[in-house]
Amino acid sequence: MKHLHSITELSNDEIMHTIERAIMIKNGEIKRYENIYTANLFFENSTRTKCSFEMAERKLALQVIPFETSTSSVTKGESLYDTCKTLESIGCDVLVIRHPENNYYEQLHELNIPVVNGGDGSGQHPTQCLLDLMTIYEEYGKFEGLKIIICGDILNSRVARSNYHALTSLGAQVKFVAPEIWQDHSLDAKYVSIDDAIEEVDVCMLLRVQHERHDEDAANFSRVNYNRMYGLTRERYDRLKEEAIILHPAPVNRDVEIDSELVEAPKSRIFKQMENGVYTRMSILSQVIENNR
C-alpha cells in the first residue's frame, strides 16, 4: 500500500495483510518512526476518524502538524491542491484528508507524498471499512459465507459502498435494507426487509441517517417511523442469532437506527469498532510510510 484512496484499490491479500498487521499492533507489536511528519486535513466534521488518526499517529511517534480548515488559507480561496502542495513543500510526509467532494483525491495525483482518504463525500471511507473488517474478522476469523445486512441510508453512505465492495470480494453474502428513496441500484445487491433477514444474519451493520446529505425537508423525516420500519429495535435484537454482532460506524442517532438501550448491549461492537480504528489506522499509516521510503 503506497497510499489509500479507495478500498477498491486493495487486493484481498492487501486487505488481509492490513487486518493481520492491525491485530499484531493491538497485541503490542508497535514500531515507532522518527522524523516522519503528518497533517490531518478535515474539510468535513469528524470525531472518530480525526481523533483516531491523531491517536494512531502519536502511538507511531509521528510528528503531527496541526491544521484547521477554519484558520487556514482555504478561507482565502486556496485550492485543495495548493494547500496540499504547501504542506508537502514544508516537509509533510503523509496527508490524511476528509473532503465533501467525491473522488477529491483525483486532483492530487501530482503530489509526491501519499494521501490517506478519511472519507470523500458519498464515495468511499476505506479506513472505516478496514476497521469494520477487522472487527468482523476478530469475531469470526473469516469472511467467506458470512451473512451480512447493511441497513439504512445506502445511497449517501460511503461506508456502505466501501464495505459492500470489500465484503463481497472476500466472500461474504451482503444484502441491503433501505427505504426506496435511499436505495442505490448502481450496487448489485439485493434489498430485503429487516424482518425477513434478522434471524439469519451473522452481522447486522446499521448506517447513520445522513440528514446533511438530504435535500428533502428534515421535518418530513419521522424518527419513530424510521425506527419502526428499518431500525434495530429490542424486538429485532432478541431475534438475532446468539453469536450475531451489531456494527454501526457512528455517530449514532439513538432511537433512530438503533434503540438507545442497545448501543452497548452484549451483541454491539460499536465501541470495539472505534477501538479497532486506532490499530487499523496504525497498520495503514505504517504501510504507507514504509512503502514510500
Q: Which residues contribute to the site for ligand CP (CB under 6 A)? A: 46-49, 119, 128, 249-251
Q: How far is the CB of 26 from ligand CP (least distance, A)?
A: 19
Nearer to ligand CP, 128 or 135 (CB): 128
Q: How far is the CB of 49 from ligand CP (least distance, A)?
A: 3
Nearest Cα neighbor of 237 from 229, 248, 228, 246 is 246
Strand, helix or coil for residue 131? helix
Nearer to ligand CP, 4 or 197 (CB): 4
Nearer to ligand CP, 173 or 273 (CB): 273
Nearest Cα neighbor of 200 from 241, 142, 232 is 241
Nearest Cα neighbor of 254 from 245, 246, 263 is 263
Nearer to ligand CP, 126 or 249 (CB): 249
Q: How far is the CB of 125 from ligand CP (least distance, A)?
A: 6
Q: How far is the CB of 128 from ligand CP (least distance, A)?
A: 5
**Degrees to nearest 5, angle at CA 252 with 275 and 272:** 20
Q: How far is the CB of 59 from ligand CP (least distance, A)?
A: 18
Q: How far is the CB of 50 from ligand CP (least distance, A)?
A: 6
Nearer to ligand CP, 6 or 128 (CB): 128
Nearer to ligand CP, 197 or 245 (CB): 245
Cα-Cα-Cα-Cα torsion 116, 119, 121, 124, nearest 10 degrees, comes to 90
Q: How far is the CB of 46 from ligand CP (least distance, A)?
A: 3
**C-alpha 268: how far from its chain's center?**
17
Nearer to ligand CP, 197 or 204 (CB): 204
Sequence-distant (≥ 6) Cβ neighbours of residue 232 within 8 angstroms: 151, 194, 204, 206, 246, 257, 258, 259, 262
d(CA 130, CA 272): 13
Q: How many CB atoms lie within 10 A of CB 93?
A: 20
d(CA 106, CA 103): 6
Q: How far is the CB of 236 from ligand CP (least distance, A)?
A: 22
Nearer to ligand CP, 270 or 289 (CB): 270
Task: Please say whether the beta carbons of 54 and 98 come within 8 A.
Answer: no
Number of alpha carbons in the 13 Å side-chain half-sphere of residue 30? 16
